[in-house]
Homo-oligomer: A and B are copies of this chain.
Amino acid sequence: MTFQRPGGRAPDQLRPVRITRGFTIHAEGSVLIEFGNTRVLCTASVEEKVPPHKRGSGEGWVTAEYGMLPRATHTRGDREAARGKQSGRTQEIQRLIGRSLRAVFDLKKLGERTITLDCDVLQADGGTRTAAITGAFVAAQDAVGKLLAAGTLAESPVLGPVAAISVGIVEGTPLLDLEYVEDVACDTDMNIVMTGAGHYVEVQGTAEGVAFTRAEMDELLRLAEKGISELVGLQRQALGV
């Protein structure tokens, strides 16, 4: 028997996704992305400098930082700034976002400048890292648009879209885009990052309970491909391209 999702959602159905550009005024790109009740503010900041390992290389850098407001979740979590360090989970997520975005950037064409994607979770309900990647791409695209409009860049360094989605197995049912109650109940949790061309950038699957079989993995990959194809469509629609 199949697991019944909250709100009667189909197993291969995304939550309602909303992408709001220009959510704040200062950043070169500023996007509020919502996957159902998950809300992440993604800003893209352009700085005319690069980290030490890129200095003098003629190449730019794209990096990300991730944070969660203390009461974005059901119970209040510690403020990482007050505790004095970022958790292993936070560091893992921001490294993932950074790698995902770099996968669709030609750093040579970007030139010696840095785009920093700040992804701050205002409200969490599962899937914050995948929402962050999907929203960060739109913010990055907006920042690049400003650089092109200003003539700072002659040609876009963006190779194509990138988006991410979670998939998992709950009570034997493979599901697309897990929300919080599904996430805590799932046996297997997988985050997939793919390009608009349908190629893999990252695959991170973890058996939380029992190990999963090859057949289950194949089904999860199929769901993810469907979801990411829809997300890329929504990114394009939001960007009007």
Task: Enumerate chain A interface residues (CB-CB to B < 8 A).
Answer: 24-27, 30, 37, 39, 41, 43, 45, 47, 65, 67, 69-74, 76, 79-82, 84-86, 88-92, 94-95, 99, 103, 116, 118, 120, 122-124, 190, 194-195, 197, 199-207, 210-214, 217, 221
The answer to whether B81 touches A122 (Cβ under 8 A) is: no
The smallest beta-carbon distance between A51 and chain B, in angstroms, is: 13
Which of A45, A71, A204, A217 has the most CB atoms of chain B within a 10 A radius of its CB? A71
List 18 extra interface pairs beyond A24-B123, A200-B205, CB under 8 A.
Answer: A24-B39, A24-B72, A26-B73, A30-B71, A43-B69, A67-B69, A69-B118, A76-B116, A80-B81, A85-B85, A88-B88, A88-B95, A103-B207, A199-B211, A201-B206, A201-B211, A203-B203, A217-B221
Residue of B67, B200, B205, B206 near A79 (CB, 8 A) is: B67
Interface of A is mostly: mixed
Complex: A202 Cα to B7 Cα, angstroms: 30
Q: How many copies does the complex hold?
A: 6
The contact of A72 among B26, B76, B99, B205, by CB within 8 Å, is B26
CA of A203 to CA of B30, assembled, Å: 32
Distance in Å from the Cβ of A139 to the closest Cβ of chain B? 10
Nearest CB in chain B: distance from A36 CB, A: 11
Docked-complex contact B217 and A210, CB < 8 angstroms: no
Partner of A118, one of B43, B79, B195, B207: B79
Contact check: which of B24, B88, B214 meets A92 at CB < 8 Å?
B88
Residue from the set A65, A95, A201, A207 with the largest chain B CB neighbour count within 10 Å: A207
